[in-house]
Chains A and B, each alone.
Chain A
Amino acid sequence: MKDNTESLAERSSVGPVGWVIACLWLLVAVVPFLYMAFTGFKTSDEMLTEPALSLPSSWAPTNYVNVLQSSFPRGLLNSVLVSAASIVLIVIIASMASWAFSRLRFRFAGLLMALVVAGLIVPLHSTLIPIYLLIQHLGLYDKLVALLFPYVAFALPISIIILTGFMREIPKELDESATIDGAGPFRIFYRIGLPLSRAGIITIAIFNAVTLWNEFVFAYVLTSTPANRTLPLTIWDFQGQYSSNLPAVMAALLLSAVPLVLTYMVFQERLVKGMMAGAVKA
């Protein structure tokens, strides 16, 4: 009986141990972030003499201004361009394939879907040398557009799997009646399939946006000059240039996190859901 009342009373509450654990983990998650923000406001001298987590003596954003005057804005713009263009292509190509897998009846459908699933587990590093050689061969080395090919190709398997799942839920009666009315498969895809898959399309767009925004290895291998670097590589170059100036690096890191922080503040649950979308069982 005691158990019973206790459980009902305490159900929505957390005991003292829970609070302690939650506070400890909050420190673990947030303190490195604070360290980054504080250090970004310090001068090099200050960093050498003061404890790491001390407040900066002045909140003058000198380092942040310096970062914004470097190639940082260019990297930001490049990242926006590459991510946006990739996402448009991913959405178009993946929704076409997903519509075929969820609706059309054709030979080898199972085999082709298995091939898509296999694409999920291909380690991209195993393809890096040949893709680098191919891009050079095509004369696309150090051009932003070169990134689109591997970005789209490697995003397709997961996007198709997510979207096929969504499209299977759309009632078949809708396109069956459209067929009877004489609409062809492309018209049905465009008029019925796409609009009804909006939620799924948004999900894969968010998921790929976060992934591509942070993408490192292809941009590292396929581009070299600051004008063609995406944001993660701008950070990489910046660190290489100012490796002895920790406050400058920390300022750059903080600024690089701002776009996602803002997105999180505006969209919250939707962003979280999109990020989780990759956790599908293949």
Chain B
Amino acid sequence: MSSRRRVRRTSNATVAVFLAPTFILLGVFLILPIVQSFQLSFTDWDGVAPVQQQVGLANWQELAHDPTFWLSVKNSFLLASVSLIIQIPIGLALAVLLDRGGRKFKVFKVGFFVPLLMSSVAVAFLFQGVFDFNFGLLNSLLNTLHLDAYAQDWLGDPNYAIWAVLSVVSWQFIPFYMLLFLAAMQGIPTELREASMIDGANKRQYTFGIQIPLIKGAIATAALLIIIGSLKYFDLIWVMTAGGPDHATTVMATYMYESAFKANRVGYGAAIASAMFLIVFTVSLAVMWLSRRSEKTS
């Protein structure tokens, strides 16, 4: 048995040729930088000085007592949980509508897709315009509807900024999950639908009794992507608010960038980067493990 296996095994040299480019790149650009981030987190390097002064755990101790860091962690998890609560139900509802509407809803399908045609940078600047206090679309619409009293400096007021950001994130990503769910729904065999109709199920019973339970896998995937993606979020927030005002919209990645590249505290930024790695990696593994386990039991 073992000898037969050895015969069928490809020679090590061959395997090495196939895999070397991948693992060299992963090693140099994913794994090594993580190690180096941890190393830098024990220094107070400013990015310029020729010597990297070792400071032991000083950065990590500061991090543990830094309210802005904890605010950034809180905002990252807020982004993940609000995205789950908003994006999945709306994405599902729109997918059900498109699925029921069929060809008649082609216009809607194309229209709903529009946000996906823009980069995060473009979306961020567009919504800076939408939320602008004086000339923005939102306040202008409120004005037209005689709701001026509700006009706000949406991105300038720390109380509203995080919700403004969350709504833009939803605007950008709901179409993605909608299409993911729609694709899963269209994979349901038509016999199942017909059988349920013959058994007397109405639309609502079909949607909640058959359609949604059958695309549980796609919903779990969406949840996984939302959680992992939200904790790593950077582009849109950095471009739209740079984490402000007064750190109200700061998340782990923006705080890391601000510390390392703006305040030139590379050592401290590396500590944030390393903490972010530990948090994102642990949560992602936990979520992946949970989704696998629930798949096995169901």
B-binding residues in A (CB < 8 A): 3-4, 6-8, 10-14, 18, 21-22, 25-26, 28-33, 35-36, 39, 47-48, 51-53, 92-94, 96-97, 99-100, 104-107, 112, 115-116, 118-119, 121-131, 133-134, 149-150, 152-154, 156-157, 160, 185-186, 189, 213-214, 216-217, 221, 231-233, 235-236, 239, 246, 249-250, 253, 256-257, 260-261, 264, 272-273, 275-276, 278-282
Q: Are B285 and A121 in contact (CB under 8 A)?
A: yes
Q: Which residues of the partner chain B approach A214 to less than 8 Å between Cβ atoms?
A: 119-121
B117 within 8 A of A: yes
Chain B residue nearest to A185 in the complex (CB): B14
Q: Are B10 and A106 in contact (CB under 8 A)?
A: yes
* Complex-state Cα separation, A32 to B114, whole angstroms: 10
Known: A14-B100, A105-B9, A216-B120. A130 touches B22 (CB 8 A): no
Number of interface residues of B (CB under 8 A): 108
Mostly, the A contact residues are helix
Mostly, the B contact residues are helix
**One of B56-64, B78-86, B197-205 at the interface:** B197-205
12 examples of A-B residue contacts, CB within 8 angstroms: A3-B202, A4-B197, A22-B101, A26-B112, A29-B113, A32-B127, A97-B18, A99-B18, A104-B10, A127-B34, A129-B273, A156-B25
Q: Are B176 and A275 in contact (CB under 8 A)?
A: yes
Which of A123, A236, A239, A279 is within 8 Å of B231, CB to CB? A123
Q: Which residues of the partner chain A approach B171 to less than 8 Å between Cβ atoms?
A: 28-29, 32
Chain B residue nearest to A6 in the complex (CB): B202
Q: Which residues of the partner chain B approach A157 to less than 8 Å between Cβ atoms?
A: 26
B280 within 8 A of A: yes
Chain A residue nearest to B170 in the complex (CB): A28
Known: A7-B197, A221-B261. A126 touches B274 (CB 8 A): yes
Which of B29, B118, B200 is within 8 Å of A7, CB to CB? B200
* Complex-state Cα separation, A82 to B98, whole angstroms: 36
Q: Which residues of the partner chain A approach B220 to less than 8 Å between Cβ atoms?
A: 281
* Complex-state Cα separation, A180 to B192, whole angstroms: 45
From 105 to 122 in chain B, residues with beta carbon under 8 angstroms from any chain A beta carbon are 105, 107-108, 111-122
* Complex-state Cα separation, A107 to B21, whole angstroms: 18
Among the interface residues A29, A31, A51, which one has the most CB atoms of the partner chain B within 10 A?
A29
B12 within 8 A of A: yes
For the complex of A and B, the 4 pairs showing the least CB-CB separation, nearest first, are: A127-B33, A52-B140, A153-B29, A214-B119
